[in-house]
Amino acid sequence: MVREGSSIDKALAVLEAVAEHHRLTEIAAAAGVSKSTAHRILQSLAEWGFARPDGSGGYEPGPRILTLAARAMSRFDPARQAAGALRALHDRTGHTVHFAIRDGDEAVYVEKLEGRRPYQMTSRVGMGLRLHSTAIGKAILARLPDEEVLAIAARTRLEPRTPNTLTSDEDLLADLAAVRARGYALDDEENEPGVRCVAAAVFDHTGRVLGGISVSALALDASREEMEAVGPEVVAAAREVSLALGAPAAVRS
């Protein structure tokens, strides 16, 4: 429901409602305004190209929305949108925080906040990471259909990185089921000896998995149990990043 008397709020509510509804009655109800108000706003939106009659008595999004969205997305920087949540996670844990975005059969680091420890991780912005052996990678895979996971596994051959790397389809799928159940993925020295990470998936405005964020530490500095204890914080931060990226509420987890 929009605030009483706010014409801008009402117009924005109607514009948002047009994205999901087309009948005037449905748009008015979704926007929390009267039918007459919704109709007046829709006429103005149509004049500006943000809505248009659909030929059956209803309305649909207009071409100007796509133009505006394209311009906005050309300037959209996921790392910048995620900065606040990443910094807060870094401050709470003191460990290294990463944000990576999926790129085909791998993910690429787009942000790194070095931990407050007397050591530094070898990772760097722009570095690619494998999906099957890293926490961020498994957080991403867990949000994909098993058929797609198996296709990726066939192409990448599940290369062993350490003695702990999951190198069979069965083991990987079982681990991904556990990831989905608890909400976060764990890399227990599976990608690099002596390094543990915990990660959660990040979603974009379409609801698709975009990438993930992680907390990383040396195994000597953080036990498996200690990293798992950080898991819920990483999940909460990933949900905040997804929100900043416009993800639908149903997938912000």
Rounded to an integer, what distance in angstroms lies between the CA atom of residue 11 and that of residue 2?
10
In degrees and rounded to multiples of 5, residue 103 shows phi and psi of -140, 90
DSSP state of 220: T
Residue 132: count other Cβ atoms within 10 Å of its Cβ.
27
CB contact set of 186 (below 8 Å; sequence gap of 6+): 135, 138, 179, 196, 197, 198, 224, 227, 228, 231
> What is the mean pLDDT of each successive set of 10 residues along the chain, which is 253 residues long?
67 89 90 92 91 88 79 71 95 96 95 94 94 98 97 95 97 98 97 97 93 97 96 97 87 66
Q: How far is CA 202 from CA 27, 115, 241, in A?
A: 30, 21, 7
Q: In the chain, list all ranges with CATH 3.30.450.40.
A: 78-251
Q: How far is CA 50 from CA 18, 108, 246, in A?
A: 9, 36, 19
What is residue 187's three-state secondary structure?
Answer: strand
Nearest to 166 by CA among 149, 143, 145: 149
Rounded to an integer, what distance in angstroms lies between the CA atom of residue 69 and that of residue 205?
11
Q: In the chain, list all ranges with CATH 1.10.10.10.
A: 7-74
The pLDDT of residue 1: 44
- Tokens 């900065």 sit at which residue? 83
Burial class (CB in 10 A: 0-12, 13-18, 19+), 150: middle
The pLDDT of residue 44: 92
Rounded to an integer, what distance in angstroms lies between the CA atom of residue 133 and that of residue 143?
16
The pLDDT of residue 2: 47
What is residue 252's three-state secondary structure?
Answer: coil
The pLDDT of residue 3: 47
The token duo for 56 is 């059956």
Fold type of domain 78-251: Beta-Lactamase (3.30.450)
What CATH architecture does domain 7-74 belong to?
Answer: Orthogonal Bundle (1.10)
Contact 85, 240 (CB under 8 A): yes
Contact 138, 176 (CB under 8 A): yes
Nearest to 252 by CA among 226, 14, 244, 242: 242
The beta-strand segments (E) located in the chain are 51-53, 59-61, 96-103, 106-113, 128-130, 185-188, 195-203, 209-218
